[in-house]
Structure 1
Amino acid sequence: MLNERSQILLKTLVERYISDGQPVGSRTLSKYSCLDLSAASIRNVMADLEEMGFITSPHTSAGRIPTPMGYRVFVDTLLTVKPLQSVEIHQLEEQLHPDNPQRLINSASQLLSELTQFAGVVMSPVPSNVFKHIEFIPLSEKRILLILVTPEGDVQNRMLLTDRAYSQPELVMASNFFNQHFAGRTLDEITVSLRDELQQLQIDISILMKAALAASNETLSSGSQYVIAGERNLLNVEDFSSNVHSLRRLFDLFEQRTEMLKLLEISRLADGVKIYIGGESGVAPLDECSVVTAPYEVNGQVVGTVGVIGPTRMAYERVIPIVDVTAKLLSSALTTATQA
């Protein structure tokens, strides 16, 4: 519960620190806050803000810097988000036009990185456990390529090793049967139906289709992944460059993926843009970072997350709209691609 004067000074202090990267003193606050206050009054307010945990004083400087709590108040109540410039929106639209889903995801992560100069991350769509189309392609006498297309437009390939050779007409019949009877249904529903309907087919085709169902289940239930771009940008961030240990832990996190995926999955369930500052993410290597995320959709259903990973001293008013607009444009492009 801060009064107006404290809010203005905290907002000014955070903005100056983000801009300059130097502890902010009372003279700077007097210059940029537009408040008619004496230096002594400003120092008193700063002392109160420090006591409440919103700012802190590095031992090497008389100035103050924001704490994670200070950043949180700034982001939640004091921040003025700047709309993206039309040229930036156009750049996003040009590179996120309807295309192959995986290429779109790669492009989105690269764009997030380029526009923010931090690391851009995009969580791939959560496997839907539903297929839109299936096809069997003969490769050799007892090797068949199973092609699965999901409603999101994702294409998965799986190799089937069979006990006998199947003719082209048999494979076409199996493909047609799957597509006519089961397209758009979950694998659990298909499994139940197959118990009865496969009895109507030749026994050898039944064996092939059971093998295809098992492979489909394994493929579509393999879990989410994410694409990250611009990790090397973090090497150039002044806040990180002097702390090799923190950087090493951060890059280990990107490589191991498990903890990062958990955070992205939680963000997928959020309503709009979500911001984790410092330790709020619950992921130790991100304690000195901020993560800005937003969910994206395909055909009106939330399926993944886009985000930016950078220092807590980031220009939130710029990063937030970049993440938000990228999520919306990726949703539109993926939806159009799957309907093509």
Structure 2
Amino acid sequence: MHFLKVLVERYIKDGQPVGSRTLSKDAGLELSPATIRNVMADLEDLGLVVSPHTSAGRVPTVAGYRLFVDSLLTMRPPSEEDMENLRQRFTGPTDSKSLVEATSRMLSGITHLAGVVMLPRHERNAFRQIELLPLSGARVLAILITGEGEVHNRIITTEHAITRSMLEEASNYLNRMFTGQDISEVRKRLLEDLKNTHQNMDALMMRAVTLAHDVVAAAERTDDCVIAGQTNLMEFGELANMERLKHLFDAFNQKREILHILDRCIEADGVQIFIGEESGYDLLDDCSLVTTAYRVDDQVVGVLGVIGPTRMDYQRVIPIVDVTARLLAAALRQ
């Protein structure tokens, strides 16, 4: 596997298929060209490298990168210059949105890749109070107050007009059941109640639960992320196809699929790496994502990382992503 490590490191550095002569020189071993060619053929048979087009050299496959990252990688701690740059970026902004934007730009600037940072979730927002008020026709104004004192209004159209007294009864029921509970837990409970049969709940309460679910779902913080440095990816030849870049930038603009990938990292421990098609998202088949969650008060509140070509400098990027998550968490705590 020494040869695979040398081949991947050379390809990450140059972006050119690696030939047997280069491999022999980099490996520092006195082996005949025939022996090196046999090793290359073995690696190809194992699906770890492939020969592109008519080139005599080889490039790593996704499986080759995966083996390299999991078993052969020698981590390179961030340099003093990188650490100083990182620390300086966290001395300015104080609100979470500004911190997230600064972190995304900083990740992009230091790694020369695209930086992506999920805005902090507020899942510990408590359900404080809900009021349901009748409007004209069959419309209801739902007012939800959360633990941080935020007020969320939603106008909901119902199948039938509901009287003020019925809505008061429903509001009292919901406040009695859910006040002080985590808003994401409230939504789960309401969903469960809606899935239950009507055995234990009359029609009014069913409608009240439906109304409450709609307004709680709307009030729950919609995940968002900040992406910076997308144009850095134009510097990599393998990504610089205009059609591919157009689709990639569309994905960055829509964010939905990228947020879905980040969401999968919320519960994971440590740094997560998606190489090529491992992300499950076609538009990122030529890219890798290196991500990690960041915590406040020992609770995961978001995910950050970088997106770049599969031949990114993993040994430098992974420690930078890890350190950045710790610095962002510390800044948010303050």
Q: Which TM-score band (shorter chain)?
A: 0.7 to 0.9
Which residue, out of 182, 187, 197, partners 1:186? 182
1:157/1:322 CA distance change after superposition, 3 Å: farther
What is the CA deviation profile of residues 5-35 of structure 1, one whole-angstrom value per residue up to 9, with x for unaligned ones? xx11111111111111111111111111012
- Pair 1:94 & 2:92 matched: no
Report what 1:28 is aligned to.
22
Report what 2:232 is aligned to.
233
1:235/1:147 CA distance change after superposition, 3 Å: farther
1:262/1:214 CA distance change after superposition, 3 Å: closer
Report what 2:114 is aligned to.
119
User: Structure 2 stretches of 5 or more lacking a match?
Assistant: 130-143, 156-178, 190-211
CA distance, structure 2, for counterparts of residue 295 and residue 48 of structure 1: 38
CA distance, structure 2, for counterparts of residue 148 and residue 107 of structure 1: 28
CA distance, structure 2, for counterparts of residue 156 and residue 108 of structure 1: 26
CA contact (8 A) 1:127 1:223 kept: no
Give the drift of 1:217: 3.8
- Pair 1:71 & 2:65 matched: yes
What is the CA deviation profile of residues 137-191 of structure 1, one whole-angstrom value per residue up to 9, with x for unaligned ones? xxxxxxxxx99775xxxx9676799xxxxxxxxxxxxxxxxxxxx7x753477xx
1:288/1:214 CA distance change after superposition, 3 Å: closer
1:8/1:147 CA distance change after superposition, 3 Å: same
| TM-align CA RMSD | 3.0
CA distance, structure 2, for counterparts of residue 158 and residue 96 of structure 1: 32
1:186/1:148 CA distance change after superposition, 3 Å: closer
Percent of matched pairs sharing the same residue: 48
Give the drift of 1:132: 11
CA distance, structure 1, for counterparts of residue 219 and residue 332 of structure 2: 18
- AA aligned opposite 1:319: V
CA distance, structure 2, for counterparts of residue 69 and residue 233 of structure 1: 25
What is the CA deviation profile of residues 115-141 of structure 1, one whole-angstrom value per residue up to 9, with x for unaligned ones? 11111000112231515999xxxxxxx
CA contact (8 A) 2:121 2:221 kept: no
Report what 2:308 is aligned to.
310
CA contact (8 A) 1:279 1:286 kept: yes
Which of structure 1's runs of 4+ aligned residues deviate more than 4 A? Answer: 131-134, 146-150, 155-161, 213-216
What is the CA deviation profile of residues 257-290 of structure 1, one whole-angstrom value per residue up to 9, with x for unaligned ones? 2211110000122111011000000011000000
- AA aligned opposite 2:51: S
> What pairs up with 1:1-340 in 2 under 5 angstroms?
7-97=1-91, 99-131=94-126, 150=148, 185-187=181-183, 217=216, 220-241=219-240, 243-336=241-334
CA contact (8 A) 2:224 2:259 kept: yes
Give the drift of 1:253: 1.2
CA contact (8 A) 1:124 1:225 kept: yes
- AA aligned opposite 2:312: M
1:19/1:223 CA distance change after superposition, 3 Å: same
Q: Secondary structure at the match of 1:268?
A: coil
1:250/1:300 CA distance change after superposition, 3 Å: same
CA distance, structure 1, for counterparts of residue 39 and residue 127 of structure 2: 62
Residues paired across the two proteins, number: 275
Deviates more, 1:249-258 or 1:283-292: 249-258
CA distance, structure 2, for counterparts of residue 252 and residue 321 of structure 1: 29
Q: Secondary structure at the match of 2:302?
A: strand
CA contact (8 A) 1:23 1:65 kept: yes
What is the CA deviation profile of residues 205-241 of structure 1, one whole-angstrom value per residue up to 9, with x for unaligned ones? xxxxxxxx99984664042111100111112222211
CA contact (8 A) 1:120 1:230 kept: yes
**What's the TM-score, normalizing by structure 2?**
0.74
CA contact (8 A) 1:148 1:216 kept: no
CA contact (8 A) 1:308 1:323 kept: yes
- AA aligned opposite 2:33: A
CA distance, structure 2, for counterparts of residue 149 and residue 106 of structure 1: 26
CA contact (8 A) 2:127 2:182 kept: no
CA distance, structure 2, for counterparts of residue 325 and residue 262 of structure 1: 23
- AA aligned opposite 1:84: P
CA distance, structure 2, for counterparts of residue 261 and residue 310 of structure 1: 16
CA distance, structure 2, for counterparts of residue 220 and residue 94 of structure 1: 35
CA distance, structure 2, for counterparts of residue 271 and residue 227 of structure 1: 22
Q: Secondary structure at the match of 2:77?
A: coil
CA contact (8 A) 2:225 2:259 kept: yes
Q: Secondary structure at the match of 2:273?
A: strand
